[in-house]
Structures are given as structure tokens and as C-alpha cells.
Amino acid sequence: LGNADACRAFQAFSLFVKAKEVPAASRCPGGGEGVRWRCCRQAFEELPGIHRHVALHHSGDVGRQAGLGAAPAEAGGSPAGGPAPAGKAARPSGHSCNNPEISWALPDTSHVSHDDLTSIILFFLNILFLFAYLCHAVGSQVGEVLLYYCYCEVKDPEKLCAWQKALCQHLHLTGKVRVASEGINGTVGGSKVATSLYIKVMLSQPLFKNILCQEDFKSSAGGAHCFPDLRVGVFQEIVPMGIDPKIVSYKETGIHLSPQEFHREVEQYLSQATQGQSDTILLDCRNFYESKIGHFQGCLAPDIRKFSYFPSYVDENLELFKDKRVLMYCTGGIRCERGSAYLRSKAVCREVYQLKGGIHKYLEEFPDGFYRGKLFVFDDRYAICSNEDIISACRYCGVLWDQYKLCSSQHCRQLVLTCPSCCNKGLTACCPVCQEKELKVTSRASGQTLKEECECTRRRPRVPIEHVSPRMLDAGK
């Protein structure tokens, strides 16, 4: 639907609901003290109830009132109520294929009768009218955060970006969505009603048909409050590895293992490692601050700060992977898609496997499996847990602690693990140098704080060279 159609639809919807309102003078005890609307011999006390009823049962009436139930008669279209001429696509009135805000290719409807097409239009109207119902649920703290990605060929990323932004705004979702010619990668938060509708609309999108499925969406408790805002943009990659997708494609990825298959592989790996017979590397593809608070037992967790350093890490440690079976994993699976493709391109490993759906899906099936500690997430929650293990420590006193905070130094803002006791002592920066700088805030003439790289970050080797002996690898250390 175009913007003008959407406005007419919402106006007609509001008027239809208004017409069902029970006059205040008529709200007698016999009719129900709280009854405010009546429709189809049903009484409704709350606005979401009547909204849902009208959306599900009267979309046809509303559509006709809005003038959206008939195909245009001009420009060769058929008269209202008649079938579309053979070879011509009947379209909703007012729809523009070149809408500069949201332009999405219409499906070929030349083989569809007018009656069938009207039912298609009303299907989309149902979704549209349910947005009104959504508005009363988004304020609830009972919500969730979705994590998903889909690698596919996107011919017009800008168009997909515009549609995605409009969709998220309409559903009152916050989060981050990356769009590229190689696909889409998103994490969004909102009410459960909103996220459920988001999934349904995404699965109905022709671009993702037969590629994206319900299982590809990972959910966890949260909501719109988990993100400061909504950010949707077009990038070269949907996950920033720093390698042109045309050079290293997701199509060359490693072999996908289901959580059950991966669990069995890790079990076998740990069993063999204790006997010093393993030919496998269990590789964590995430950043150091992620694996620091949670990881699989016996894994190799590179001490890298960004995923864009991963290719260099592989290059500098090729000997480590020579003739090895590699089991890779990350949060939701997306980094393994390109990461495993890059590792395979070096032709040194015997086999490369990856955990389908990432740690997220593994924990759904094995909450007390081989993954210990918290799962780091890129939103204001910082972590979600499935077991009670704490595997990291306070930066200052060494007590077990795994709840991240932002470094208090305004020039840095890195993540820091500092326990309540140390926080109370004022130890709230990521390192002693930052702690000192916090006391001497460097500012511009305008008073705006300068942003500079943290000194402890600057000292960190960008690409660590692993000094791991075959014996240590065999022992799963």
C-alpha cells in the first residue's frame, strides 16, 4: 500500500471503530458497566479488544470505506467488480511502484481474478489494521529481542532498507538492521505482539521466500527498551569482516551442524582431548570481551577486539589450523558464515564445520550443556544467561564477576568488569590509565568531550599469534 492508501485505511478504520462506540448515556449496568463498544453482538471494554475484532472480522468493510477494494478502471484497468484483462496485473488503487519512500515490486497478478486479488489486498489490510492493536501493547515491559540474518541476493539494498525502516517504525521496534547486496542482518526489540508480526511480515516477503524460516529467528526476553533507538542502514557487508563479499562469499561456507550434531561433536572432542588424541580445534569466532564471560569448554578463543581482525588472525596462525578439523561457533551463526568461508579459502584445514543458529540456538536445546557462563549480546542487556556459572572476574579485585558496565571515562567508553565493591570505591574505568584520565577530563573549546582510543586498547596486540603446542590442543586447553 502507498502512503496515501495507508492514511485512508487508518482513517476508515478509526471511523469504523468510532461508529461502534456505545454512547455514555447508554452505558447502564444492564449493558455492562465497562462496555464502551458493541459490534457483532459482542461487548468490548478496552480499545485493543475492539481494534483486534475489527481488524480480523471487518477488514473488507473498512477497505471498501477507504476505497481500496477495487482495481483502477483507468489506464486499461478493468471496471470495478470485473476481472483484470488477460496479461495485465490488477493493482490496489493509489499504489505507485516508484514510491520514493517505500517502493516494493508487486507480484505478477495477471493470472489472478479480481475477486482473488481483493482477498489478497484484504490480507495485507489485516496486517495494516493490526498495527493499531499493536500500539497498545508496545508499552508493556513483557517483550522480546529478535536476532536473525538472511544471506540472499538483494538487487536494490536501498529499497529494502527503506521498507525495513518503515516496517520497524510502524511496529515500534528498536534495534539495529544492516542491509547489503548479500542480505540482511538484524536485531530488534519490542512487544511480543510486535515481534510476532515482524516475523510474519518478514516471512511473507517474496525476497526471503524459501530462504528465511521461523527457525532463523532467535528470541530472548527483552523489549524495545534494550536499544536506545532504531538504526537501519546499507553497508557493503551484513557482518563487518572487512573482506569484499565478492572475494569471500557466504556461498563457500563450512558445513552446518545442528545444535544436536554440534553437541555430539564437542562431546567427542572433549573425550578425545583428555586422552591426547584430538585432531580437532573448537574455535570461538567472537571478540575477546564476549568469550571472556562465556564460552564452550575446551575452546580456542582468539584475543581479538573486532571481527574485522579475524581474517588477519587466521593468516597469522595458519600453521595452527593445518590438517585440523575445525568446529566454529559464534552468537547467532552469522560470523561463522563468512568466517568459515575465509578459513576454507586458505585450504589448510581438513574440514570446517559451524554451529547452525549459533550459541543462541544451542542454549535453547542444551541450557546446561558444554557452553558455560553468559552469552554476550550487543544491546543494553550485555548478556543473557542459561546457567549459573560465572567464569570471569572483576578487573580490580579478582572476585568472580560477569556483569559488564561501560567504562566511566568519557573519552573511552569500553566495557569493564568491575564488582559492586570496587564500584563503591570509585574503580569504574577499564584500566588505571583511564581511571586517571577520568579525573582530568579533556575537553574541546566548546566543552564537548574528546573521544580517543583507550590506552589499554592501544596496547592490546591487534592480531595475537597463538603459542599453542599440539599437546595443549590435544588436551583441549
Catalytic status, residue 330: yes
Least confident of 90-94, 157-161, 181-185: 90-94
Q: ∠ CA 462-463-464 to the nearest 5 degrees?
A: 115
H or E element in which residue 7 lies: helix 3-19
pLDDT, tens only, 439-464? 665 444 445 545 556 666 777 777 77
Spell out the domain ranges in the chain.
3-134, 143-234, 250-387+462-474, 404-459
pLDDT, tens only, 8-47? 776 777 788 888 888 766 655 444 446 688 888 778 877 7
Architecture of domain 250-387+462-474: 3-Layer(aba) Sandwich (3.40)
Which of 85-89, 180-184, 200-204 shows the highest mean pLDDT? 180-184
pLDDT for 463: 77
Alpha helices in 106-179 (DSSP H): 114-134, 157-170
Give the separation between CA 359 and CA 341, rounded to whole angstroms: 19
Entry pTM: 0.68
Q: By C-alpha distance, which of 39, 33, 30, 117 is closest to 81?
A: 117
In DSSP notation, 323-361 reads T-EEEEE-SSSHHHHHHHHHHHHTT--SEEEEETTHHHH
Architecture of domain 143-234: 2-Layer Sandwich (3.30)
Q: Does the pLDDT value for residue 135 go beyond 80?
A: no
Coil, strand or helix: which one is 222? Answer: strand
pLDDT for 280: 95
Catalytic residue, chosen from 150, 161, 226, 330, is 330
pLDDT higher at 323 or 477: 323
pLDDT for 148: 98
